[in-house]
């Protein structure tokens, strides 16, 4: 996943492209039953990140915006869990999983920093 310099700070774009990378990665997994459950959970949590960022951008209040970012952060944390399971308990491409883990970790840090900043701002 290659992003232009400006896109690296745009959570909406990063969330979208992260979802695409997850979908592509899931297409490479084995058809064994154990992968079905993990892949389903991973797909739901990973795509939820970007979806909630988009929802936040369309929110009608600062409180709603923060709530959608908080949900996206929870989804990012859950995504790390499922990716870690795939890396450590299955025969998946560990280097690809590590790239995905690095990206979701960066997105989670950006979400967390944004939430803290928004909560501390006085209006």
**Can you list the domains of the chain with their CATH numbers?**
11-118 (1.20.1440.60)
pLDDT at 84: 98
Q: Quick one: 14 exposed, middle or buried, by C-beta within 10 A (0-12, 13-18, 19+)?
A: buried
What string of pLDDT tens digits covers the 123 residues of the chain?
555 555 667 999 999 999 999 999 999 999 999 899 999 999 999 999 999 999 999 999 999 999 999 999 999 999 999 999 999 999 999 999 999 999 999 999 999 999 999 998 765
Record the pTM. 0.89
Q: Is 119 left (phi over 0), alpha (psi -120 to 50) or beta?
A: alpha
């Amino acid at each position: 996943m290659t992003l232009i310099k400006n896109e690296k700070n745009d959570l909406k774009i990063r969330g979208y492209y992260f979802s695409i990378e997850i979908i592509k990665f899931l297409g490479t997994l084995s058809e064994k039953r154990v992968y079905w459950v993990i892949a389903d959970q991973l797909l739901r949590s990973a795509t939820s990140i970007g979806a909630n960022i988009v929802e936040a951008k369309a929110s009608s209040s600062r409180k709603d915006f923060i709530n959608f970012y908080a949900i996206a952060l929870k989804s990012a944390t859950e995504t790390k869990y499922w990716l870690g399971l795939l890396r450590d308990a299955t025969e998946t491409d560990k280097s690809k999983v590590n790239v995905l883990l690095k990206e979701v970790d960066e997105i989670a840090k950006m979400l967390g920093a944004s939430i803290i900043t928004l909560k501390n701002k006085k209006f």
